[in-house]
Amino acid sequence: MRKEKLYKVLLEPHVSEKANKSMVNERQYAFKVDKNANKSDVKTAVEKMFNVNVKSVNICNFKGGNLTRQGKAVGKRASWKKAYIILTSGQEINLA
């Protein structure tokens, strides 16, 4: 995989209470990823960018919902994709 594609697959770390809890307890990290990325793309990107070994990758799709209506115009949130990455024992990613 080319370096340009690596930076397009992983968009940003997903920070929430649930993600922080699973990061501490289970070595599981959450990232917002490109909508067209698959599990093997995410695994390769994480391994090459952070120099770690990935045990497994789970991907969730989130559908964008409708926002409030302003007259005839209806706003809509964008759809996005999140990947949960579980690392092998002894591995760690420093997101700070």
Domains of the chain by residue range: 3-65+76-87
List the structure tokens of 69.
């209506």
CA torsion, ordered 82, 88, 90, 95, to nearest 10 deg: -20
Q: 95, exposed or middle or buried, with CB in 10 Å at 0-12, 13-18, 19+? A: exposed
Number of Cβ within a 10 Å radius of residue 47? 16
CATH number of 3-65+76-87: 3.30.70.330
Q: Give pTM, 2 decimals.
A: 0.83
Which range has the worst mean pLDDT, 16-20, 58-62, 65-69? 65-69
Average pLDDT along the chain: 88
What integer is the mean pLDDT of 15-23?
Answer: 86
